[in-house]
């Protein structure tokens, strides 16, 4: 099975680190022209240089801007050009007691994790439909289904993203455009290391802290370890490819067996 995205342009939001960076690298390795997005132009240029240093053949373009605002999203889309593959990866998360979450925080999570994706889908889906081909992928989370007690505002936003994905898949019916969600499980990124140390003893070495976190807070995981970003990226690359032409409106799991169900 060969994934070939030659001739396609992909925009991956929040792709200067973590899962987004791994997705961008994997799509570029499959032949796509990939727009690297982050709020800081300097950071975007640094990441592009690092990715090209690792693999000089990668076709990468800088698309700096804050996609949580209308003006920022317009700048990012202008830098990217027409989009064949949209990966809405940008998201925020953090632990907070349920009754301490303020109204402003509820709104911020919805704006960043849901409405930013909606804005970009509305901007790119019509062009994809006219061209008769496109892929829209929203990076959701196991937290969309198994709402964590320590961050229900995050879980709420990812549940909403599943609804957004299914709804826009119906809008795209028959056009050659597919819209799917990827349910990412607990993943090993810089951000998750900070999160883990919010919940376990900060004096523990990382390997012990990770095991303690999985034992206490994610015991449902069948992997019993954090997922690596490249494992998420591999699924995204498949769903972004022509090989996944019959998969749309789906919530595809890369969760390490965390969600205890036979079907999503």
Q: Which residues are catalytic?
A: 154
**Cα separation, 55 vs 71, whole angstroms:** 32
Between CA 246 and CA 255, with CA 249 as vertex, the angle to 5 degrees is 95
- Quick one: DSSP state of residue 113? I
Distance CA 186, CA 225 (A): 8
The rounded distance, in Å, linking the Cα atoms of 187 and 230 is 10
Residue of 140, 130, 138, 139 whose CA lies nearest to 177:
130
In angstroms, the CA 43 to CA 151 distance is 28
- CA–CA separation, 173 vs 179, rounded Å? 9
Number of residues assigned to the chain: 264
Taking each helix axis from N to C end, the angle separating 116-131 and 70-80, rounded to the nearest 10 degrees, works out to: 40
Sign of CA dihedral 159, 64, 60, 242: positive
């Amino acid at each position: 099975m060969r994934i070939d995205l030659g001739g396609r342009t992909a925009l991956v939001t929040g792709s200067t680190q973590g899962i987004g960076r791994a997705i961008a690298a994997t799509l570029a390795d499959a032949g796509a022209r990939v727009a690297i997005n982050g709020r800081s132009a300097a950071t975007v240029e640094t990441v592009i240089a690092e990715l090209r240093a690792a693999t000089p053949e990668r076709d990468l373009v800088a698309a700096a801007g804050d996609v949580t605002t209308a003006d920022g999203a317009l700048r990012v889309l202008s830098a990217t050009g027409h989009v064949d593959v949209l990966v809405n990866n940008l998201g925020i998360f953090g632990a907070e007691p349920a009754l301490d979450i303020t109204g402003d925080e509820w709104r911020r999570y919805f704006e960043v994790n849901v409405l930013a994706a909606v804005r970009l889908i509305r901007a790119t889906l019509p062009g994809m439909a006219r061209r008769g081909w496109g892929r829209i992928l929203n990076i959701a989370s196991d937290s969309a289904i198994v709402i964590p007690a320590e961050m229900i505002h995050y879980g709420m936003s990812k549940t909403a993203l599943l609804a957004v994905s299914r709804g826009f898949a119906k809008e795209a019916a028959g056009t050659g455009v597919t819209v799917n969600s990827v349910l990412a499980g607990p993943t090993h990124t810089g951000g998750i290391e900070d999160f883990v140390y919010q919940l376990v003893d900060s004096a523990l070495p990382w390997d012990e802290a990770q095991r303690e976190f999985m034992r206490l807070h994610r015991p449902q995981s069948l992997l019993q370890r954090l997922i690596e970003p490249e494992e998420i990226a591999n699924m995204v690359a498949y769903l972004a490819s022509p090989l996944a032409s019959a998969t749309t409106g789906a919530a595809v799991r890369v969760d390490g067996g965390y969600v205890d169900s036979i079907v999503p």
